[in-house]
């Protein structure tokens, strides 16, 4: 059986634990199925023989190694204290079996923050006593495929190369996709291969927040949406977003958002009708988040939302924040707006630090790219100009001081502003040729071109998404450099 594309399908079989004495060796016999092997208590030396020939590698504490079917392995503890060897068994169904896995990847250890959730899913299924076997089966299978995808992605790096930032990004991505899961941040930090302090620093470098703060913000946003949607009980919402204790959830909710879950529901039921973009409503839980923020949208939807008159005439500086706070006042949810803006300000302060450390006071043009040409933003623009120049730390070129927005038809007209460094927000399909086109327009000497995807819609949720994308984009050199063997 395969997945229909000629690739083998995976089937979860179970977990095994083996006692491992200090400086002792255990034999992991050859079997007809694949295994992930690791230890969260000690470093290992693995020597294997099978379809990949004879090989050996060191597996640090918390790293995961993929074993092929029909592969015999001897594992030696490199620690002076007793530990435990853990194995996750799975079957490959398709052509080639063990040989197909052997062709996927050499024996390379990889750090995977998703191992514990996969095992927890198995444990949860067993604890249910078979009360929902079909649900448990698909949940465990999903974890297995996610594990395999993460392992193969990590193993594509040069053998022996490890990036702490890549590990932290795996953790961040899993939290963003599955915030409802149980996460032991302390265990994840210990399994990073460095001190917990260094792991927390790497996570803050990615997000501007601690892992606990980042996860809490994700869960609270989801809780707002559930409470505002079908008015489930507080207990149901707490469990759905990852809190086992609904009373603890209520305390966290009130501490962070300034009102109890039940008070939020009452306020939502009595709220007035407002005509604002969905992305503004999403931060209050009143609309689904724009998951496809980088997808193109109709030109009518791409126009920036009209701001109230007093907002347009206000001096530049955090106009995006004022708009959110004003919406919070209209909805009677000022404390929810304050929570979102506080987190956003922290992330923007972090982005500003990255921009200044990378570019200093180098003048920039912020340019939107769409099918009709180019939009050159100035710091007077109450949306992107305000967000990126004033709050995000990009120094505006002197030729755009006092400007809101100018639309031009060609890249040569953009170059005529006299600035050699530009941030392009590209709507629709990517423009891989844009750096070369920009260099042709302004000349190659001293040229800098940053390009990120952008949907063209200006609202709070999309601003949040853009700040995150820009942060990751600016950290790409660190991803490449932050390695240790």
* φ, ψ dihedrals at 395, nearest 5°: -70, 125
How many residues in total does the chain contain?
Answer: 485
Place of tokens 């570019």: 359
Sheet with 44-50: strands ordered across: 25-28, 72-77, 44-50, 53-59
Instruction: Give the separation between CA 359 and CA 346, rounded to whole angstroms.
Output: 20
377-to-71, 248, 367, 402, 408 alpha-carbon distances in Å: 60, 45, 6, 10, 11
Place of tokens 């193993």: 155
Strands 363-370 vs 421-426: parallel, antiparallel or unpaired = parallel
344-to-324, 458, 462 alpha-carbon distances in Å: 11, 15, 12
Nearest to 337 by CA among 416, 404, 284, 281: 284
CATH number of the domain within which 432 lies: 3.40.50.1980
- The answer to whether residues 365 and 422 touch, using CB atoms and an 8 Å cutoff, is yes
Mean pLDDT by 10 residues, the chain (485 residues): 60 90 88 89 86 83 88 87 90 61 75 66 55 75 85 67 75 88 85 84 92 96 91 88 94 96 92 89 85 41 38 54 93 96 94 93 95 94 93 95 94 94 91 90 87 90 94 78 47
Q: Is the dihedral of CA 241, 246, 250, 256 positive or negative?
A: negative
Nearest to 75 by CA among 44, 115, 51: 44
Residues 460 and 331 in one domain: yes
Range of the domain at 304: 272-478
**Is residue 184 one of the residues assigned to a domain?**
no
Q: How many domains, in total, are found in the chain? A: 2
Strands 34-38 vs 63-67: parallel, antiparallel or unpaired = antiparallel
**Is residue 407 one of the residues assigned to a domain?**
yes
At residue 193, the pLDDT reads 73
At residue 256, the pLDDT reads 96
Residues 136 and 16 in one domain: yes
**Is residue 191 one of the residues assigned to a domain?**
no
454-to-249, 297, 411, 451 alpha-carbon distances in Å: 35, 10, 18, 9
**Is residue 323 one of the residues assigned to a domain?**
yes
Residues 336 and 471 in one domain: yes
At residue 82, the pLDDT reads 87
**Is residue 138 one of the residues assigned to a domain?**
yes
pTM: 0.72
Residues 340 and 463 in one domain: yes
* φ, ψ dihedrals at 244, nearest 5°: -75, -35
**Is residue 207 one of the residues assigned to a domain?**
no
Q: Tell me which of 162, 184, 202 is where a domain ends.
A: 162
Nearest to 51 by CA among 97, 86, 108, 90: 97
Max Cα distance, the chain (Å): 74
**Is residue 312 one of the residues assigned to a domain?**
yes
CATH number of the domain within which 126 lies: 2.60.120.10
At residue 119, the pLDDT reads 60
Q: Tell me which of 116, 135, 162 is where a domain ends.
A: 162
First to last CA, the chain: 38
Residues 473 and 330 in one domain: yes
């Amino acid at each position: 059986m395969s997945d229909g594309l000629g690739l083998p399908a995976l089937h979860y079989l179970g977990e095994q634990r083996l006692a491992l004495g200090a400086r002792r060796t255990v034999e992991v016999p050859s079997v007809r199925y694949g295994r992930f092997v690791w230890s969260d208590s000690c470093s290992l030396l693995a020597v294997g023989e099978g379809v990949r020939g004879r090989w050996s590698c060191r597996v640090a504490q918390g790293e995961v190694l993929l074993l092929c079917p029909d592969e015999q392995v001897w594992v030696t503890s490199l620690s002076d204290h007793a530990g435990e060897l853990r194995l996750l068994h799975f079957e490959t169904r398709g052509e080639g079996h063990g040989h197909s896995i052997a062709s996927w990847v050499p024996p390379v250890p990889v750090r995977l923050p998703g191992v514990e959730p996969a095992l927890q899913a198995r444990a949860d299924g067993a604890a249910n006593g078979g009360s929902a076997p079909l649900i448990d089966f698909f949940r465990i299978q999903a974890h297995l495929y996610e594990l395999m995808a993460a392992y193969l992605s990590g193993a594509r790096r040069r053998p022996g190369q490890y990036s702490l930032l890549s590990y932290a990004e795996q953790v961040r991505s899993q939290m963003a996709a599955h915030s409802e899961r149980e996460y032991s941040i302390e265990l994840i930090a210990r399994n990073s291969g460095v001190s917990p302090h260094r792991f927390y620093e790497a996570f803050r470098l990615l997000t501007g927040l601690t892992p606990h703060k980042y996860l809490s913000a994700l869960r609270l946003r989801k809780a707002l949406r559930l409470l505002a949607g079908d008015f489930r009980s507080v207990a149901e919402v707490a469990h759905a977003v990852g809190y086992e204790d609904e009373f603890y959830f209520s305390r966290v909710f009130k501490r962070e958002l300034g009102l109890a879950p039940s008070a939020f529901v009452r306020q939502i039921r009595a709220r007035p009708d407002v005509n604002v973009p969905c992305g503004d409503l999403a931060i209050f839980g009143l609309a689904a988040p724009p998951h496809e923020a980088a997808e193109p949208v109709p030109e009518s939807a791409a126009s920036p939302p009209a701001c109230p008159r007093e907002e347009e005439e206000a001096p530049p500086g955090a106009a995006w924040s004022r708009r959110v706070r004003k919406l919070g006042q209209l909805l009677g949810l000022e404390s929810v707006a304050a929570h979102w803006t506080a987190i956003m300000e922290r992330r923007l302060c972090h982005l500003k630090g990255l921009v200044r450390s990378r570019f200093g006071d180098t003048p920039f043009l912020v340019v939107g790219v769409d099918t009709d040409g180019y939009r050159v933003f100035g710091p007077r623009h109450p949306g992107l100009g305000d967000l990126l120049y004033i709050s995000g730390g990009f120094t505006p070129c002197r030729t755009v001081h006092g400007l809101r927005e100018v639309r031009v038809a060609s890249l040569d007209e953009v170059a005529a502003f006299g600035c050699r460094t530009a941030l392009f927000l590209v709507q629709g399909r990517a423009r891989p040729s844009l750096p070369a086109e920009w260099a042709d327009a302004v000349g190659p000497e001293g040229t800098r071109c940053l390009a990120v995807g952008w949907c063209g819609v200006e609202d709070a949720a999309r601003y949040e998404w853009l700040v995150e994308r820009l942060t990751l984009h600016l950290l790409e050199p660190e991803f490449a450099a932050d390695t240790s063997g």
